[in-house]
Amino acid sequence: MEAKKEKENIRGRFATIRFFMKGSVRFFLCSVIFVCLLVVFELVNPKVIGWTVDFVTGDMSRMPQFLKDLVERLGGRSWCIEHLWVFSLIVAGIAVIGAVCRYAFRMFNGTMAETLVKRMRDTVYDQVIHLPFKWHDDNRTGDIIQRATSDVDMVRNFISEQLTSVFRMVILLVLALSMMASINGWLTLAAAAFIPVIIGYSLIFHRKIGSAFEKADTEEGKLSAIAQENISGLRVVRAFGRERYERERFEGKNETYTKLWVRTMQLLSIFWITNDIIGGFQMVTVLGLGAHLAVAGAISAGEYVSFIAYNGMLIWPVRQLGRVISEMSKAGVSIDRLRYILDSKREEDAQGAVDFPDSTDIDFEKVSFSYGEGEVLKGLDLHIKAGQTIGILGGTGTGKSTMAALLDGLYELPKENGCIKVGGIDIRSIKKHELRKNIGLMLQEPYLFSRTLEENITIAAPKSTHADVEAASKGASLDTAIERFNEGYKTPVGERGVTLSGGQKQRTAIARTLIRKTPVMIFDDSLSAVDAQTDAKIRAGLAQAGQGVTVILISHRITTLMNADRIFVIEDGRVAEEGSHEELLALGGRYRRIYDLQSAFTEDEGEVAHE
């Protein structure tokens, strides 16, 4: 069972490599062709040098007949000795041709590597941004970034550096052994006897190295996640005086990561030194036995020189094979980590999915939902008429934000957990792109990009004019704040909008939602960071901009909701109360109690300000 699983895993890795190699195959094949030509020309020179030595020593008995005839036509051995520069020129010419082949190999190989890594990054990024919210909830951002950078580079290096080396090593092994066998069979057997030992030893270490690297790679992902979180939340860390704690936490994880790499390096050191020892024994054996055969006359001096040169070429790829196997272990782990992303199921439209309907009546019918343990929504029933402004009120954890996320299709609602309909159509049957294009959602925590204010507002509607930006900003009561900025709408906001206040960030996000002019707009606790006066201005702007639009306001503050056409009080995942502001006050239930508490707090606040 384990062996079958391993075979399937290997097939999966090769399938992933083939997929990534699309667009790079022609460059890869060209690099392989030129590296093979390079090997051929490298193997010619030892022969030329060996023949030259035999010319000088006078031992031409083992030379090919065509070469002897050529020497005679040129003027015999004496002519060759007088014109040794000709042989030097031949060696130099072959070296120049080899250098051209090496250049072509590097050029095509480099082009292949960069084309490959571009495709890998594009593919991984495209996959990540199309994965469901649930997947992102389960995977830390730092680990995802580490997979999309370090693991991508690891695969690139293996294919461009090691995989092309495999072809060179195979050609070199076959041709070098053939050349060596043509000189002396027994000496060739002695040289080749060490090859199975090195290969077998390398295969034994393959699994150990792969396991060690996998642990180190996983820890690197955790380390990246901690660094990413703490750098992004540096203000929070400093605000709570947690620098020392976070530093010690990072250093602890870094120490674990370092120890894993030290152990991996120790394992690799043992692996390399053992390969060096075996290779050293092989060289000594060939030198000693070859010298004995040369003295005994079994091989000529030139053949001995050629054989030693070929053996040097032979032992390099055999020892390099260990490096290839080591890198293969690392690349295998990186490919598996990338396959985890690529094999994750993307968001997909249902078969026969339709466009967004003309009507924006919204119905939650027996909707239940859970993120894991414990249901957040429990058989929720709720109806919203098209064009109405609806208020949603409830305590923390009652499912208000979950309702918004489900309506926008950010989380998939299981079929057995009820349904949500827009215009009488189950949203699971509506194209995801169409659903989100027609539902403007401002999340509870606004996210701004490291761009200008105008770019952050128009990111939802790239074709908007500056007049549209100004109108949306006015509706969000952001225009007065922008007027105070030196660069106006061209003001950079920094990472995550760090240069703006909480209220300014929320208003920028509201403007970003308004500029889309969608038929349904959801504001999830979007006014929590603004004062009551600004709250009132924004609500007036929303009322004007939202004429004929279905608006859903989610808030803890009753003043934000009191002018809504209908208000739903959510408690324990269900609708506990519903009605207009006046109707809910008259009901004397939870809404009334919250209203009284907030009113009393506002009055106390006003008295303090007056004093």
**Pairwise CA distance, residues 350 & 213, whole Å:** 40
**Pairwise CA distance, residues 566 & 563, whole Å:** 8
- For residue 520, give Cα distances in angstroms to 516, 527, 528: 10, 18, 21
Classified as helix, coil or strand, 380 is: strand
**Pairwise CA distance, residues 74 & 68, whole Å:** 10
CATH fold of 15-343: ABC transporter transmembrane region fold (1.20.1560)
Parts of the chain belonging to CATH 3.40.50.300 = 362-610
**Pairwise CA distance, residues 490 & 486, whole Å:** 9
Question: What are 452's strand-pairing partners?
Answer: 492
- What distance lies between CA 519 and its chain's CA centroid? 35
Parts of the chain belonging to CATH 1.20.1560.10 = 15-343
Order of all β-strands in the sheet with 419-422: 375-384, 362-370, 419-422, 425-426
Question: What are 553's strand-pairing partners?
Answer: 391, 523
Q: Which of 218, 217, 201 is nearest to 274 (CA)?
A: 201
Order of all β-strands in the sheet with 566-571: 439-442, 520-524, 550-554, 389-394, 566-571, 574-579
Q: Which of 542, 520, 538 is nearest to 528 (CA)?
A: 538
Tokens 């083992």 sit on residue: 62
Give me 609's structure tokens: 């300000």
**Pairwise CA distance, residues 301 & 294, whole Å:** 6
Classified as helix, coil or strand, 302 is: helix
Tokens 């001995």 sit on residue: 304
Tokens 């994880």 sit on residue: 253
CATH superfamily of 362-610: P-loop containing nucleotide triphosphate hydrolases (3.40.50.300)
501-504 CB contacts, 8 Å cutoff, 24+ apart: 501/529, 502/529, 503/529, 503/530, 503/531, 503/534, 504/478
**Pairwise CA distance, residues 116 & 109, whole Å:** 10
Which residues of the chain are under the pLDDT cut of 70? Answer: 1-10, 45, 48-52, 54-72, 74-77, 79-81, 83, 203, 206-207, 209-210, 214, 228, 232-240, 318-323, 325-326, 495-497, 527-535, 541-547, 601-611
pLDDT score recorded for residue 610: 39
pLDDT score recorded for residue 508: 84
Is residue 491 within 8 A of residue 483, CB to CB? The reply is no
pLDDT score recorded for residue 110: 87
**Pairwise CA distance, residues 573 & 379, whole Å:** 8
**What's the burial of 126, exposed, middle or buried (CB within 10 Å: 0-12/13-18/19+)?**
exposed
pLDDT score recorded for residue 368: 92
pLDDT score recorded for residue 363: 92
**Pairwise CA distance, residues 198 & 598, whole Å:** 79
| Strand ranges for 8-148 from DSSP E | none
pLDDT score recorded for residue 281: 82
β pairing state of 389-394 and 550-554: parallel
Enumerate the H helices of 462-580 as residue ranges: 466-475, 479-483, 502-514, 532-545, 558-561
pTM summary value = 0.70
Tokens 């061209």 sit on residue: 490
Is residue 390 within 8 A of residue 383, CB to CB? The reply is no
Q: In the Cβ-directed half-sphere of 602, how many Cα atoms lie within 13 Å?
A: 12
